[in-house]
Amino acid sequence: MLSVQNLEKTYHSNQLDSPVLKGLNLDVKQGEFAAVMGPSGSGKTTLLNILSGFLNADGGKVLLDGQDILHAQQEELTQIRQKKLGYVFQDFMLLDSLTTQENVYLPQVIAGKDQKEMMTDTELLFRQFGIRDIALKYPGQISGGQKQRVAVARALSNHPLLVLADEPTGNLDSRSGEAVMDAFIKAKEEFGATILMVTHDAKAASRTGRVITLKDGEIRSELMKNGSDRSFMEEILHYLGEA
């Protein structure tokens, strides 16, 4: 579903070259929920920004459902971003002047979705994620965990092929973080969503099925979940402690 092949990215600043991604290879299967971890500066956000089409790469391929997003024309890229990708950011990125429901309507209106379908889909998402009672509230009137669940609903609203999440629990206390992770699990189990999440949080990572660790611009290891969330978290913490 997502295939990243030999991805390379070097930043140039003050006549200094900083290679950040050095021929990275990664595959994500349809319906998979995977986490990307690694030390600060290892290139996690750079990877996500390239997958989002927000940043150019210097080499390699990013195939989303067979379509190479690195070499897509601008118009094609806009279509991919609107219809095939969903985003969840650390700081929610909700519009304060719109209700939570209107925030979720917005990308659907932009994508030209039928109004009745939009309302039905939104209602279903709000119900699934336990945020129906805040549908008419504004972001300033709700908690961080609720904001992030609205952001997850928004990311799923156009039935994307892939949801990209950058530190979605980074600004949340642990209980709110759990609620957001519950929303991702529901998205995977009930909507068949495919999710790639960057995180520093071993507890959040342990809710996924696979943890990919980056180091110095390359994949250092992949940990697969074989048992409970708890035993996976211990494995992740042990691995990070040794790394």
Ligand X SMILES: Nc1ncnc2c1ncn2[C@@H]1O[C@H](COP(=O)(O)OP(=O)(O)OP(=O)(O)O)[C@@H](O)[C@H]1O
Q: Which residues bind ligand X (CB under 6 A)?
A: 11, 13, 18, 20, 38, 40-46
CA distance 43 to 216: 8
Nearer to ligand X, 44 or 207 (CB): 44
Q: DSSP secondary structure string, 43-103?
A: SHHHHHHHHTTSS--SEEEEEETTEEGGG--HHHHHHHHHHTEEEE-TT----TTS-HHHH
**In this structure, are residues 176 and 144 in contact, taking their beta carbons and an 8 Å threshold?**
yes
User: Minimum Å distance from CB 57 to ligand X?
Assistant: 12
CA angle 161, 43, 52 (to 5 degrees): 25
Nearer to ligand X, 13 or 73 (CB): 13
User: Minimum Å distance from CB 108 to ligand X?
Assistant: 30
CA distance 45 to 182: 23
User: Minimum Å distance from CB 48 to ligand X?
Assistant: 8
Tokens in use for 190? 């009930």
Nearer to ligand X, 20 or 35 (CB): 20
Nearer to ligand X, 51 or 179 (CB): 51
CA distance 181 to 147: 13
Q: Which of 232, 185, 199, 171 is nearest to 37 (CA)?
A: 199
Indicate the helix (H) or strand (E) that contains 207: none
User: Minimum Å distance from CB 75 to ligand X?
Assistant: 26
Nearer to ligand X, 16 or 75 (CB): 16
Nearer to ligand X, 170 or 209 (CB): 170
User: Minimum Å distance from CB 19 to ligand X?
Assistant: 9
Tokens in use for 72? 């897509």
User: Minimum Å distance from CB 17 to ligand X?
Assistant: 10
